[in-house]
Every structure is written in structure tokens, then in C-alpha cells.
Amino acid sequence: MGRVLILHTGGTIGCRATSEGHKPSLDFTALLRKRLADSGEPELPGFDVIELQTLIDSANLTPAHWAQIAGLLVVHWQDYDGFLVLHGTDTMAYTASALSFMLQGQDKPVIITGSQIPLSERRSDGLDNLINGLHLCVAPGLAEVCIYFNGRLLRGNRTTKLKATELDAFASPNLPPLGVAGIRLEPDRGLLLPAGPLCFRIPEFDPEAVTVLSLYPGISARAARALLEHAPLRGVVMLSFGVGNPPDANTELMAALAAAVERGIVIVNRTHCLYGKVDQGTYATGNSLNRIGVTPGGDLTLEAAFAKLHYLLAMEQDPARVRELMCRPLRGEMMAV
């Protein structure tokens, strides 16, 4: 059946209710083992559990945590057949995206899951996520970073958190699920990434290297410059309207964007919309971004765009090279632009 490493990083699944709100449970590993043993699920793969010394509320996640999690996976890579990462839901899709870029050529599954209700509570959705996550960690042919949640297996770097308080919290807007739990739990082999030669690269991230600029009606050039002129900044994920349109009548804003590109800042254009993609050639307003050197982000999710830009800027010094790679699918995160 294989053997799985469960890496507990924090999140709702490992919490207990207190008078001050949910807090990490001090006996979570024992509870996890008991709930799985009592589930009656036959033929679960064997597993070991590692907990981070300091558990992370995922709202406090930083890029340094991505590297920490990836480093632990790499250290144990040859010892297990698959890896189940327990993570808070708020930033789960960011971590899944970042891991997918650092674990290039992976030949084993990394399944990320958690829950909306703590495992310590009777109605918890965590037990199903744990059981199916463990089975997926030894699924033949699965060799990528995925999120399993509420009966669906999703490519990690195609996933976004869609709902704050419902059990089907995650969606993959521009790619079908890789699998759906039913009588059988089998990934769709036609959608899976192939395993490649291992090429793990875990950079040192600069947390100030990337920011997000959200365009909105009436945005001022002053507001944009407050972000764009921050000294350590090297990359921006810009959220625009529709298929990638900016308010090009705001000439001061467009000049601020152009000046940032000229300084070597990589600006990646992503739509506010969940579904569809950026096409900067559809409208004249969008084409104005082509003229000043803004990079189209295609159908990247916000989480994947942010993590990919962080990863590439940590690995590459040449902005032109980063722009080129942002338009190219590296780990199934997008269609080519």
C-alpha cells in the first residue's frame, strides 16, 4: 500500500474551540490517529506524522513558509511514496502553487488538504479529506501538487478559495477537477502531468519583492505609485477589468505603469474575473498595456500568478527572462499566452 508522510503545518483541521476562538490542539497527532483508526476505513496506507514546531495560522503565511514546507518535503522525499500536507484553507492555494514550482519534475504526489470544521468536532469535514488524501498519496500515475477538498481533486496551481464558510471551499475555474470521489477514487489520467527528472529548486524569497495592484473605478495614479515606487519591489500582479483592460484614459496611471516597467519591474496582468483569461489584444484599452510592456497573465489564478512571480524573481535576475517565463506554462498552471 505504500507509506505516506503527513506534514501538519497548522490550520482549522488541527484546532480546538476555546473561549478566545479556535486555537491549535496540543494533542492533534493522537486525535488524528484515533479518528483514522476508528473510521473503519480498510487498507489505509501506513503513515508517519510530522508537525511544524510552530504551527501556522494560514492568514500569517509568508513566502518563507513555502520554502520551509518544501525543504521538509525534499528532506524526506526518498523515504515515502507520497506526502499529505495539512494546511489552513485561507492561503492553501498560494502554498500549493508555490510548491508546484519548487518541486519541478516531482515523481510522487503531494496532496494538500485541511478542513472547514476542526477534526476535534463531530461534524468535521476533515476526516473525509484525510482518508481520501491518504489514498491519493499512493495513487499510481499521480505526480503533482494537488488540493483535495470536499470530494474533489484539484491541480494545486489552478485552484482558488471560492467560499469562506461552506465545505466546498475550493474551485479550479479554468481546469476540470483531476478527479471526483465516488464509488471509486481515481484521478483522470488524461489530465495528469507527467513525472519528469527531479529538479528541486528552493530559493530564498524576498517577501517585499512582489505586490498586488488592484485596479478599480477612479483609481488614482498617486495610489498606484505608492505601491510601484516601493524600493525593494521587483514584480506586480495587476488585477484589471474583463479580458485585461485598464482605465487607459487615466494617462497619469498609465505613465506610472510605464515608468515601473522601464525601471525593470515585471507587471503581470490578471483579470479580476475568476473564469476566462487575459487577452490584451481584444480591446484598444488592453492593447495599451502591450505598448508599455505589461505582461499578459493568461488564465493564471491570482494565487498562481503571485507564487510564480515570486519564484521566478527569486531564481532569475533578468526581468526580460521573467516576463518570458510568466507567459509559459511551467507546471500546468496556465495555457500558453
CA distances from 334 to 174, 190, 304, 326, 331 (A): 9, 16, 9, 10, 8
Residue 89 known to be catalytic: yes
What is the residue-wise DSSP string for 144-157?
SEEEEETTEEEEGG
In the chain, beta strands by DSSP E: 3-8, 15-16, 23-24, 46-51, 82-86, 103-104, 110-113, 145-149, 152-155, 160-161, 170-171, 179-180, 199-200, 210-214, 235-240, 266-271, 295-296
| Cα(141)–Cα(317) distance, integer angstroms | 35
Q: Which of 12, 91, 113, 271 is catalytic?
A: 12
Measured in degrees and rounded to the nearest 5, phi and psi for residue 204 equal -95, 115
Find out whether 108 and 83 touch, Cβ atoms under 8 Å: yes
Binding site annotation covers 90? Answer: yes
Q: Do the annotations mark residue 91 as ligand-binding?
A: no
89 annotated to a ligand binding site: yes
Residue at grid coordinates 481533486: 153
165 included as an active-site residue: no
The residue annotated as part of the active site, out of 18, 54, 89, 282, is 89
Which residues, at least 6 apart from 330, have a Cβ–Cβ distance to it below 8 Å? 101, 104, 308
Tell me the three cell numbers of residue 321.
Answer: 527572462
Cα distance between residue 79 and residue 72, in whole Å: 12
The candidate with the shortest Cα–Cα distance to 254, out of 201, 227, 291, is 291
Q: Per the annotation, where are the binding residues for substrate?
A: 58, 89-90
Active centre residues (catalytic):
12, 89
